[in-house]
Structure formats: structure tokens, C-alpha cells
Amino acid sequence: FFTRQGVYQKVPVEEAWKKTGKSPIRVKWVDVNKGDDDSPEYRSRLVAAELKTDQRPDLFAGAPPVEAIRLILSDAATFSKGDTRRTKCLMVNDVKRAYFHAKCKRKGYIELPKEDAEEGMCGMLDKSMYGTRDAAGNWEAEYTDMFLCAGYEQGVACVCIFVSVEQDAISLVHGDDFTILGPPHQLAWFRDRMKETFEIKVRGIMGPD
């Protein structure tokens, strides 16, 4: 998957020292069971271990307040089956390995994992990697661009909310989870639009029907 996404390219370790004044960032494997003991769903992910050593406001990424999801759920509950022109459904999608879809905006270098190690070489990041400090901000920029290109407007008070007045749709992003409320045909269009850019999993669709 790293190769297919073009997450990094191999360069001499000396380049990392020359460009950043530091050695390449360490990497490690992290195994997480996203299920439970009865229905395990293990995810093994290679992550960077970049330490926070200074304050960098430019690496900030927004997160939605709980009021945002309450707003969407309240809006969803308002529309009933009585007027089919106003029927809305709620769709929840998540993006697989979201950060690997986001382009790097600064020079970053990682140690090569043992599975791809090469003497005297390290990896220069072209895509964001879990564990790097700017990964969340890069991912925010990536999905924001997708929404704006799709005709949505970004929220002012909360940059994780996107609204399309024309399509009568609203979306909330929390990490790699997308909650979208809108007419059924708009949800289908938006799902297909996301698939053009990211690898997604549709978690569910809820509505009057």
C-alpha cells in the first residue's frame, strides 16, 4: 500500500541531515484491535514517532465540537416522510488510511522499515504519515479542497463543517469519518465523488425509508 500510494521515496540519509539538520524520524509498527475479543478486527499500521519539541501553530488541525453533530442529528430528525421533496437521509463514511492520501507540505524524512531497508538510505515523505506532527493538518487541507471543488462552502466558526445550499446538504468531518446529511440522490452523488479521490467505506445510511 505504501508503494501504491507513493508515501515515500528512497534518498540518502545525508539528505535528511542536510535539509532538516536531524536524523530521519524513527518508525514502528502499531497493532490495534478495532473490534473486540469475539469479533477481532486488527489493524497493523507503520507509524512515525515524531516528538513534539516546539510550538507550531501552523501544524494545527481543527476538530468539531459535539454541538456540530447535535446540529446535524437535529436537522435529520426534523424532516419526515410526509414531504418527499424534503426527505433527508444521514450517511456515514470513513476514509481508509486517510493520511496517506494527503500530500506533504514540508520536508520530512523517515527511517526505512526493516521490510524495505537499504544501507545508507532513508525515506523522503511525499504523502503524510501517521505519527508526523503535520499529518492531521495536511489531511484537513486535502479534504477541504475536495469539498470546495464539489461546490461546498466551509464553515467559519467550525472549519470541519461544509454546506451546499444548492444541494441542501451539510457534512461534518471528524478525522477520517464523514457524516453527511442531505437528499438521497445527493448522498449517492457525494459517495461517488469521494470514491474518485479516496478509498472509502460506507458505514451506513439512515433515513425515513
Asked if residue 137 lies in contact with residue 59, where contact means CB atoms within 8 angstroms, the answer is yes
Half-sphere exposure of 91 (CA within 13 A, CB side): 23
Q: Using one digit for the tens of pLDDT, what is the confidence trace for 67-124?
A: 989 988 888 888 655 555 568 899 999 998 899 999 998 889 999 999 999 999 999 9
Question: Strand, coil or helix: what is 35?
Answer: coil
Rounded distance between C-alpha atoms, residue 99 and residue 96, angstroms: 9
Tell me if the pTM is above 0.95. no
Q: Using one digit for the tens of pLDDT, what is the confidence trace for 97-109?
A: 899 999 998 889 9
